[in-house]
Structure 1
Amino acid sequence: MQEKTPVKVIDGRQLSDLLIEEMTQEVNERTQKGLPQPGLAVVLVGEDPASTIYVRNKIRCAEKAGLFSLVIRLDASCTQQALDDVVVELNERDDIHGILVQLPLPKHLSEARIINLIDPTKDVDGFHPVNVGLLSSGQAKLVPCTPLGCMEILEREMGDVSGKHAVVIGRSNIVGKPMANLLLQANCTVSIVHSKTIDAAALCRQADILVAAVGVAELVDQNWVKPGAVVIDVGINATEIDGKRKLVGDVNFADVADKCRAITPVPGGVGPMTIACLIKNTLTAAKQHDM
């Protein structure tokens, strides 16, 4: 009997370190040529614990790569006008190439308004309608960081994904839709599964590449997975197991792992690559600014 090839658990932290190392070298080469140091500004409104941790990790990663970084903290009770003024000022600063307003915002502030207010050439989250449109037409330079991180993982682990059938679970503007667009541009055949899909599991079982980004804890079990598939788990869900808080993905890792060729864990899979790709977008924005 032929031995089963052991599943590869994709180490997102290791891949993230590699990507940061590559960008650090590129930033050093820029500064040696006399080009400006890429600058990233992060705006944090309020003191949400999760947002505070995310911002700290993003700034740490930016500084590791040699970027100039700036954190602007506003009180949770700040007005829409005060937040607008901060973004407008950052739009005008030549030393800032990337602007990120940490979401979610307090309920009295408009996320849509702020996303639209950020200069599209500095929109390192890739959420501005201009960048969404450019992505749809295959011309985007700044792409949402999580899908970009997923593509980095796939390309580094699989090489050429052309011709593969990719199924994306979820159709959000942040992950699902841009992920599908990037896979199409990589010449995959792409299906999107969502809450109205009939027999979602059957469609997912056809996937060579399965990307789970729906926000339902451990939704995907082995009945959803084709033998030998590569599974990318974007979900981060807080659950309580035996009285202890634990983070799990949208994929039931223990149930699925033996069936697939490779899989990202939660935590330690897509998350670190998302942050690394924020730095990559900032470097891209700086290079666009040079032109």
Structure 2
Amino acid sequence: MGSTPENLPKNLPTPVTAAGRDGLAAILGRPEKAVVGLDFDGTLAEIVPDPEQARAHPEAVPALKALAPRVGSVAVVTGRPAGVAVRYGGFAGVPELEHLVVLGHYGAERWDAVTGTVHASAPHPGVASVRAELPGVLDRHGAWTGTWIEEKGRAVAVHTRRAKEPQAAFDALRGPLAELAARHGLVLEPGRMVLELRPPGMDKGVAFAEYVKETGATSVLYAGDDLGDLAAYAAVDKLRSDGVPGLLVCSGSEEVAELAERADLVLPGPAAVAGFLKDLAAALAQGA
């Protein structure tokens, strides 16, 4: 029998789907076997015009400190380099987060709080080639004004949020950057006013699914806000079909309707996500 709103804690928002309610109930029932996966930008941190200025919401780390000791594991799954996410999140050296894992570059890098070290695979050679050609491509398409290139080590991204017409710049560059990526064996990943060129086979779904398998989790939660999180959503759907209950949370944005439409629970941004995580920790404490 599926879970109903009546048998879930009143202090938590109720998922709109039966699968989401079952996922939440499974997490509450056996929290020690639950994995919580969280995107960084737009989920734990507000989206800002300059990605280098992004920082975790002030309530994010306190919420994680409350939740992490009560579940099997918490993993931050991000396209950023793992070390950058750790710095911008303020995750290092926090006693309650000693088992936090950051899966950076879509899983190509991994930071474990218990050791404080980053492990990484070899970089794709196409990234260096794309990095060298990218300025010329932007120049030929008249896209220098307002666009910004973000160096991500194992990937490179072009942001259009600061352009005079962000959506028009995004649309104009999507085709040329897809061609550039393909020419060097990379793929183009569109996001919220950002176009990322990165190696194939790297996505949040693969990273999250492999981590869930490693932990032996019997329930999962994943929260994200952007198109790159759709792969993680698909991974949770696959886990559900295999008998592992899951809850899909969207850190709400009008820019990415696809995610909100597939989510079991939509929350209005990082502050609300942090509040939900803190409330979930409180519910688990009451059930202990």
- Flag the structure with more relative contact order, 1 or 2, with Cα contacts below 8 A and sequence separation at least 6: 2
Same fold (TM over 0.5): no
- TM-score of the two chains, using structure 1 as the length reference: 0.35
